[in-house]
Structure 1
Amino acid sequence: MFTGIVEELGKVERITRGGNQQRIFIQCKKILEDIHLGDSIAVNGVCLTVVEHSTRGFSADVMNETFSRSSLGTLTSGSVVDLERAMAANGRFGGHIVSGHIDGIGTIKSIHQDGNAVWFEITAEPKILDGIVEKGSITIDGISLTVAAVSKNSFKVSIIPHTLKETVLGHKKIGDRVNLENDIVGKYIKQFIERENTCNDSRLKELLMI
């Protein structure tokens, strides 16, 4: 489990492609202070497993499915990425519950300055927007953020200077794709309600057939 509080900006050194999976090597520093084989690291919000590490960075295997269903497929040598280690049991819960399993990809529609903040408008598919509520939580490229506004085709977040400086959002431009993960609590509630409604519909149909 992660919290959406980015620990460090890493840099992609190389991506080795072939077969049904790729291996990505990411340069970093802080993440290496406590890293072990098999550890989970969120890379732009996608949970990856450490398969190798050195004094310069770590490697992780990435399946073709992950590349095709996330913005990791757009990464190249030199790309900057958000990094977060899995939350320690005694760690501070600074963001919200993040699984590292993204729900889909959004596209940055607009970026504009508003005083000391910067507004990002992001378009997304209806299935993702249905799970977003104003003042609720959303994870963008592994960053825990508060939703400022939601419309039929997009949502907005307001970013403070510190977040722009410490995360990959400071490197983004209009048209870039980002990984999105809806609030996991909201997803469970939505699923429970849908199941209950399905059960109620089935019971009603049975009663009407009696």
Structure 2
Amino acid sequence: MTGQPLSGISRRGLMGAFAATMITAAPTASHAFGFLRGAGDIRRIKMYNGRTGESIDQIYWIDGNYVPESLAEINRFMRDWRTGGVINFDPRTVDILTAAHRLMDAPEPYLLLSGYRSPQTNAMLRARSSGVAQNSLHMKGEAADVRLKSRSVSQMARAAEACASGGVGRYSGSNFVHMDCGPVRHWGA
């Protein structure tokens, strides 16, 4: 971050996140995990998919363990809606989404625009837009494109970047943010 205020991220959410990371002594593979500590050792994701009309409000982590049945539901929810293809979606991306949502203290669930993409779907989208990566992390189940009505692209991206846990892409023209569990990087305006 560049010292800009985190507008759109609630004071309560930010203070809770910092307090949670302060009590975490052991290093973690992802900073997002630190932002999720102090949540009663429960992690919960809330999303809506406008393409399928489905919603998910899933507790997927309890007392230090992912819940396999919950991850299976998330996998199905994050499927490629064009082909019906399902993949084991990387829970690290779900953790990043959850941590950013918690930081923003957003009142509504994410609107999922894209989760898993089959190679066929990715190739079709790539033919239509130069903004689609040939080797997109969406094809590995490691990325999601999301939107919130109550938060700007900038607010969402800053929350995701605060997690310092993966890639964050700002797509202001299309009003969404890309979050993934790949290398830490950011792009877009």
Fold shared per TM-score above 0.5 = no
Q: Which has the higher strand share?
A: 1
Question: Which protein is bigger by CA-based radius of gyration?
Answer: 1
TM-score, scaled to structure 2: 0.33
Quick check: which one's helix share is greater? 2
